Amino acid sequence: MDIIISNSVKDPIYHQIIKQIKELVLTGKLSEGDSLPSIRQLAKDLQVSVITTKRAYEELESDGFIVSIVGKGSFIASQNQELLKERRLKIIEEKLIEIIEESKLVQLSKEELMEMILILYGDDLK
Amino acid sequence: MYSLILKDFLMLKKMLLIITGLITLWYILQFSSIFIIALAGFLFISNTGSFEDRNNSHIMLNSLPINRKSIISSKYIGALIFGIVTVCLASLFQVVFYFVFDAYTQPFPEVYDLLIGILCIFLFTSIYYPILYKFGEKYTRIILMFIGFTIIVFGNIMMHLFKDKIETIKLFLSQFTANQLLLTGSVITVLLFLLSWLGTIKIYEAKDF
Amino acid sequence: MTNVVEFNNVKKSFKNFSLDDVSFSIKKGFVTGFIGANGAGKSTTIKLLMKLLRKDSGNITIFGLDQDKHNQEIKERIGFVYDENCFYDTLSIRELRKIIAPMYQKWNDNLFYKYLDQFSLPEKQPIKNFSKGMKMKMAILFAISHDPEFIIMDEPTSGLDPVFRREVLELLHEIMLDDQKTIFFSTHITTDLDRIADYITYIHKGKILFSKEREELLTEYGIVKGSNDLLDRDTVKEFVSIRKTNVGFEALTSCVKKTKDIFGDEVLIEKPSLEDIMYYTNKGDLKCTL
């Protein structure tokens, strides 16, 4: 798991941590049940204040991304599967809209596009 | 407490060797035991004092879980222990020198000499530590020299002024046996030692670093 | 959140300087950095904490215990690192251990030898031959070998090279993995604090100006840069202090929000460094009317 913090960006550090963990979850690099480093270990690795990492984890928890169990640590929460899928579908939808617009530009018909998709999809199955 | 006393001896490892060497030399030169014991004591005590001061050790010592009373007490007890050790060493040396080198008229030093020697150590300790802890190492040397000087000058003046009275004093003292005089002297010295101990504790407890 | 240390209305006067009614606390489980200009009172405060000086009045509690009544008990649980050499320099680490170890009930030889090895310190050489960095490592070694809950350091990294300073910070981070430990250290090197401090206590001319979360501090304060035309009698009052130049001014504000409301886009507001805060505060007076 990688978290890269910038000191020169205006975004406060706890915010950057939150964003990056959310992204890791949404892109599937972190999945349900994966354990996160303790707030102190993270503070040590990033060389930031423990208060910062604590705040980041607290917000992630209230947003439902992670759960913290006393004595065991913090883990990625489960409900994210649906959220993940939903977000993914949205990204796919956005990309399809882009593709359709591109197709229209080169005057590719709907059927030609579908054929292309089938061929490419088919290749994947092999 | 043990490790505090140990520290004083560890601190002066080299010095202890030098002192032993000096004691050997003095025995070769056949100095009196009183002188040897007293001087050894003087060297030991003044060196532990200056070492302590030089190293800024008060800061380290006071960060340890010990109270200031113990720090001072370890000094006085250390002086006592050193006195006893020196007395034993002195006796041992004289025995060796008597049998091996045929020096000295008798194998063991006179008990009187040993006692007076150790009393000198006590006396010096009683004067030295309060001054050291009150004024610090730099000034202590000056103050001690001043005291020594004053005693010599004062003593000489007194001798001149009271030439005639000296006979009366001698007569007065001859009433008592040597033992009685020694006993009185011992009691006074020990009392001074204890008073100095308490006094130095008070001084040290009030000190700001 | 408990406090390891509480200073309440502590006063201490010297001929030329006095600590005036100092009150602050040090929170358990965190690293508190103690900053202030030379002569502001840092060493005095730390010495009072360690009972090297006796306070004139006020109250100091450590671990909830009165400092006067429980001195030994408290010292058992504190590790102290002082910046000057205060160990007997003719002795070796081995000999010092013989003196120091018996004083602590919780002395841990496993810890001691582990760190001795980690710091690569020679055990039998007299310490007067040590370099400055080695002496500091040794001071830390003795301070942490009895597993103290509270570590106090007075300028632990002054005079040390940047490489070594980082090593010290790494070590402190390692120690802080345990949430029962607390560290309090005074320093001039504010960049060290950027890498580890959770709280900052700032002392200025014998008074505590603030004791706050570091990150919060850096969002509340700001460096304001703008045209000299913007400065008039009223606006000048908004800043802690101002540095005017021929090409514009630079100032410190203690309330970024308010400054934004007043000046809007006309000024550039940047995140300050601790050094900026110290510099400008030293120049002016502290104000916050949020």
Nearest to B94 by CA among B35, B166, B162, B171: B35
Between C97 and C232, residue with greater pLDDT: C97
Q: How far apart are CA C23 and CA C60, in angstroms?
A: 9
pLDDT(B25) > 50? yes
A104 three-state secondary structure: helix
Residues B19-32 have a mean pLDDT of 79
Q: List, in sequence order, every residue forming a beta bridge with C202; answer none if it has no partner.
A: C35, C210
H runs (alpha helix) in C103-161? 109-118, 132-144
C-alpha A33/C-alpha C197 separation (Å) is 31
pLDDT band at residue C287 using 50, 70 and 90 as cut-offs: very low
Per-residue pLDDT averaged across B35-45, rounded?
86
For residue C56, the number of C-alpha atoms closer than 13 Å in the C-beta half-sphere is 11
Rounded to the nearest 5°, which phi and psi values hold at C183?
Answer: -125, 140
Residue C286 has pLDDT above 60, yes or no: no
Mean pLDDT check: name the lowest of B159-163, C28-32, C165-169, C231-235: B159-163
Band (B153; pLDDT cuts 50, 70, 90): confident
Q: How confident is the model at residue B31 (pLDDT cuts 50, 70, 90)?
A: confident
Would you say residue A96 has pLDDT above 70? yes
Alpha-carbon distance of C166 to C171, in angstroms, equals: 9
The mean per-residue pLDDT over the stretch A68-88 comes to: 77
A14: closest chain C residue by CA: C215
Q: Are there at least 3 beta-carbon pairs closer than 8 Å between C and B?
A: yes
Round to whole Å and give the CA distance between C18 and C205: 8
pLDDT over 70 (residue A124): no
Of the listed ranges A59-63, A81-85, C68-72, the one predicted with least confidence: A81-85
Residue of C286, C290, C283, C276 whose CA lies nearest to C208: C286
The verdict on C89 touching B (C-beta cutoff 8 Å) is yes
Question: Any idea what DSSP says for residue C126?
Answer: B
Average pLDDT, chain C: 89
Distance from CA of C156 to the nearest CA of B (A): 15
Does residue C235 have a pLDDT over 90?
no
* Strand ordering across the sheet containing C222-226: C241-245, C248-253, C222-226, C268-270
Task: Write out chain C residues lying below 8 Å of B47, CB-based.
Answer: none
Q: What is the mean pLDDT of residues A72-82?
A: 76
| C202: confidence class by pLDDT, cuts 50, 70, 90 | very high
Residue in B with minimal Cα distance to C83: B59
pTM: 0.83
Q: Give the pairing of strands A73-76 and A66-69.
A: antiparallel
* Contact predicate B144/B64, CB 8 Å: no
Stronger pLDDT, C60 or B109, i.e. the higher one: C60
| Angle at which helices B2-11 and B13-28 cross, to 10° | 60
Picking from C230, C226, C254, the residue whose alpha carbon sits closest to that of residue C240 is C254
**Comparison of pLDDT for A45 and B1, the residue scoring more:** A45
Can you give the length of chain B in residues? 209
End-to-end CA distance of chain A: 31
* Structure confidence at residue C289 (pLDDT): 37
Quick check: A125 pLDDT over 70? no
Burial class (CB in 10 A: 0-12, 13-18, 19+), B141: middle
Picking from C93, C20, C25, C29, the residue whose alpha carbon sits closest to that of residue C55 is: C20
Query: How far off is chain B from C1, nearest CA to CA, in Å?
Result: 26
Chain C residues whose CB is inside 8 A of the A57 CB are none
CA C14/CA C5 separation, integer angstroms? 23
Q: Give the number of beta-carbon pairs within 8 Å between A and C.
A: 39
- Chain C interface, mutation test: which of B11, B12, B55, most C Cβ atoms within 10 Å? B55
Give the tokens for residue C276.
Answer: 């900026």
- With touching defined as 3 or more inter-chain CB pairs under 8 Å, the answer for chains A and C is yes
DSSP label at C271?
P
**Residue C234 touches chain A, beta carbons under 8 Å:** no
Q: Which amino acid is residue B46, in one-letter code? A: S
Do residue B67 and residue C104 have CB atoms under 8 angstroms apart?
no
Range among B43-47, C40-44, C181-185, C237-241 with highest mean pLDDT value: C181-185
Please give the pLDDT value at position B194.
95
Residue C290 has pLDDT above 80, yes or no: no
User: Which chain B residues have a beta carbon less than 8 Å from that of C98?
Assistant: 3, 6, 10
Does residue A81 surpass a pLDDT of 70? no
Q: How confident is the model at residue A79 (pLDDT cuts 50, 70, 90)?
A: low
Report the pLDDT averaged over residues C111-124: 92
Residue C211: both structure tokens together: 């004791």
Identify the DSSP state of B110: -
**In which element (H, E) is residue C242 found?**
strand C241-245
Residue B172 pLDDT grade (very low, low, confident, very high; cuts 50, 70, 90): confident
Q: What is the dihedral of CA B136, B141, B143, B148, to 10 degrees?
A: 150
3 state SS of C61: strand
